[in-house]
Amino acid sequence: MEITAAFAVPICHDTLAACDRLNRELAQLFLARETPEYRNPTPSHNPQAEMFESRFDLFTWPEPCIQELRKFMLESVFRVAMAASETAREEFARLSLNNHTWFHITRHSGYFVAHNHALASWSAVYCVKDGVDPAGAPSGGLLRLFDTRVGADAFLDPAIQRLRPPFVVGDLELLLRPGQLVVFPSYLFHEVTPYYGPDTRITVASNCWFTAESGAR
């Protein structure tokens, strides 16, 4: 007998080592540019005063800290996408990786509603600052990735109430720490739960798509 995990969703966790200096520089830059000039002019969801969303051209900024983060995030996305694909490595390596990338600054009770990202294949979220309470009080601000199997647990009997990973049905809640990166398929619905910490929560998000020839979509 063999049990396999069919219909699996690839999710990659990575961490940028020795990220304190980079995160300090990023936080300083983002807070300085939390202005109308840099705000996303066409938000897809109702904007809130408690969450600032930048334009989607973050990785075109020339600042060294941005380019350092760009290298880490996009290389991770590339590696994840290649690892999850049956396409030969040399063929995959010829693909061009395109991205929309932005930053979020979240203050008390800010959140981001459940959504996914059309016309992208891989999404990534990097944590610059978690904003958690040093005393350890729950601060919210979780990245919640929703299980794709909606309704699969509508009927539960004693045999399936406690399925073990990877078969358990349920959402994945991540409290990202500074330097942590998560990469997941863009079709996956996700949200950021309300942040109740005492400071600010700062993240960088990227939507990526590959093309067979160079040039952005």
Partner 1 sequence: MTALAGQSGTVPLFATPFTAVNTGADSLFNARLASLCESQRSATGVDFLDSADAIAVELKRLILGQAATVVAGLSSIGAAEFARLHIQARGWCSIVQRNGHVPAQHFPGASWLAVYCVQAGESDAGFKSAGVVRLYERRLGSIYRDASTWELKSPYCYGNHTWSPLPGWMALFPAHLPHEVSVVRSATALILVFAMIRFMDADAKDSRKG
Summarize as ranges the residues that interact with partner 1 (CB under 8 A): 46, 48-49, 108-109, 111, 113-119, 144, 146, 148, 150-151, 153-156, 171, 186-187, 189, 191, 193-194, 196
Nearer to partner 1, 29 or 193 (CB): 193
Nearest approach in angstroms of CB 52 to partner 1 is 15
Contact yes or no for 50/108 (Cβ under 8 A): yes
Nearer to partner 1, 50 or 68 (CB): 50
For residue 169, give the nearest of 50, 2, 9 by alpha carbon: 9
Type of residue found at 157: D
| Phi, psi angles (nearest 5°) of residue 99 | -150, 150
Nearest approach in angstroms of CB 213 to partner 1 is 20
Contact yes or no for 181/76 (Cβ under 8 A): yes
Nearest approach in angstroms of CB 195 to partner 1 is 10
CA distance 121 to 81: 9
Type of residue found at 35: T
Nearest approach in angstroms of CB 122 to partner 1 is 12
Nearer to partner 1, 62 or 155 (CB): 155
Nearer to partner 1, 9 or 31 (CB): 9
Nearest approach in angstroms of CB 71 to partner 1 is 27
Nearest approach in angstroms of CB 89 to partner 1 is 26
Contact yes or no for 74/99 (Cβ under 8 A): yes
Nearer to partner 1, 119 or 212 (CB): 119
Q: Which pairing describes strands 51-53 and 112-115: parallel, antiparallel, or unpaired?
A: unpaired
CA distance 28 to 191: 25
DSSP string, 109-152: T--EEEE--TT-SEEEEEEEE----TT----B--EEEPPS-TTT
**Residue indicated by tokens 């020839």:** 213
Nearer to partner 1, 1 or 6 (CB): 6
What size, in residues, is the chain?
A: 217
